[in-house]
Amino acid sequence: MDERSPLSRQGNHQEEDPFAAFPPVRTFVLSQRAKAIILLLLAIGAIIFLALRYVGQQEGAQSTPQKAVEGFLQAAQAKDPEKMLTYVSVNPADLREDQSLKDIAAEWKKAFMEEELVLGEYEILEVEEQTNSANVRYRQHFAYMEEKYEQESNHKLKKIGDKWFIVLG
């Protein structure tokens, strides 16, 4: 080997640094305390995410009798009979022989289209809840043919599984 060769000066035991041409890298080292804080924040974030994801499911639109009636009334305000039916339980014995849930939705839709009925605000007045049944009394404001009205009404509900449904019939 030639005396001028870099390898001959350093000996055969050392190799050239392949990254020698790159500028030196500044490394950042976290203290143990900083690492612990970051892990703690990640754990808190995961707990909050899971709590919102799974606990929130138990507070659905039909988790209480009041929420079921409110969902039904909001669907009625939006003139959405299909959505209204999701809050309803119908005993097949209460239907006419030739009637189905689709027929009920079509009747409601026709009524929304034909009548000049505009549903306004509602107010839940009273909720009487037993184990698997409930009664919700409410006040509904509405306009019919440009005349304003207010009516008190109630819905009977029953609990099926974890959800409350308005009983029709």
How far is the C-alpha of 68 from the C-alpha of 89, rounded, in Å?
A: 11
pLDDT at residue 3 is higher than 70:
no
Q: Give the residues across from 153 on adjacent strands.
A: 138
- Mean of all residue pLDDT scores within the chain: 80
Q: Rounded to whole angstroms, how far apart are CA atoms 21 and 18? A: 8
Q: How far apart are CA 43 and CA 36, in angstroms?
A: 10
Cβ atoms of 154 and 73 closer than 8 Å:
no
Q: What is the pLDDT of residues 40-76, one digit of tens each?
A: 999 998 888 877 766 554 456 788 999 999 998 888 8
**What are the residues facing 118 on neighbouring strands?**
143
DSSP label of 83: H
- Give residue-wise pLDDT tens across range 70-116: 998 888 888 888 888 888 887 776 677 777 778 888 887 887 777 76
Q: What are the structural domains of the chain?
A: 6-58 (no CATH), 65-168 (3.10.450.50)
Residues pairing with 164 in the sheet: 159
Q: Which residue has the tokens 């306004």?
A: 120
